[in-house]
Amino acid sequence: MTVAHAPGRPRDPGVDRRVAHAALELFGEVGWAGFSMEAVARRAGVGKASLYLRWSGKEALLSEALTVGLARVSDVDTGTLRGDLIQLAQQTLESYAGDTGRAALRLMLEGGAIPGVAEHYERVRQSQVLAARGIVRRGIDRGELPGTTSVTLLLDTLVGGAMTHALTTPADRRAQLATHPERYALRLVDFVLRAVVAPDAGGTEA
């Protein structure tokens, strides 16, 4: 899907981010069945007409919100494996503990079945998986990890651990985790890396 922009109209990144955030929050709460341009406009505090100047419809709006709000793994490249994994863990904690956590869960549930959004969601998901695998491959290439490392086990436990931690953190401490994910991210990365680099590691491909 391509996102329709009114030609020649300069865009305000602040407004775009606010709209994307409102769209993800709304989608998380009510799902596709309750998702409308009008409700997004109201929540973002912008006119419905101005939304239609920027996006052709709610499919395009939610598709772009996914890209802006959820897909940042591909930007991660700190130069070291540990640095990249810490960023990946922090992003996952922020995603699932923050305001967009419900949207991320709901996408897993409904994303593949929304006409006009499913294909875009699948592309975003695939590019996130590829980017995460790229982080580990670069670590192997730089000699930071054994060549026999199981990329799957490393990423399942790292991303899954961050996701589970965010989802099981009590509601009254979740916002704090979303704004300060550093401490848990660091402990999680060092825990998982220990499993990979330990002698006779079980974390190698069979």
Give the residues lining the site for a copy of itself (CB under 8 A).
Answer: 28, 31, 33, 102, 105-106, 108-109, 129, 150, 152-153, 155-165, 167-168, 187-188, 190-195, 198, 201-203, 206
Choice between 75 and 200, CB closer to a copy of itself: 200
Cα 108-156-146 angle, rounded to 5 deg: 150
Between CA 93 and CA 165 the distance in angstroms is 8
CB of 163 to a copy of itself, least distance (A): 6
CB of 20 to a copy of itself, least distance (A): 20
CB of 102 to a copy of itself, least distance (A): 6
Measured between alpha carbons, how far is residue 204 from residues 34, 164, 198 in Å? 45, 24, 11
CB of 12 to a copy of itself, least distance (A): 32
CB of 154 to a copy of itself, least distance (A): 8
Choice between 55 and 84, CB closer to a copy of itself: 84
Choice between 14 and 170, CB closer to a copy of itself: 170
Choice between 142 and 194, CB closer to a copy of itself: 194
Treating both helix axes as pointing N-terminal to C-terminal, what angle do 81-97 and 101-110 enclose, rounded to 10 degrees?
Answer: 90
Between CA 24 and CA 102 the distance in angstroms is 8
Choice between 54 and 102, CB closer to a copy of itself: 102
CB of 23 to a copy of itself, least distance (A): 17
Long-range contacts from 115-124, C-beta under 8 angstroms, 24+ separation: 115/59, 116/1, 116/57, 116/59, 116/60, 116/63, 117/1, 117/32, 117/59, 117/62, 117/63, 117/66, 119/1, 120/1, 120/63, 120/66, 120/67, 121/63, 121/66, 124/66, 124/67, 124/70, 124/71
Choice between 53 and 167, CB closer to a copy of itself: 167
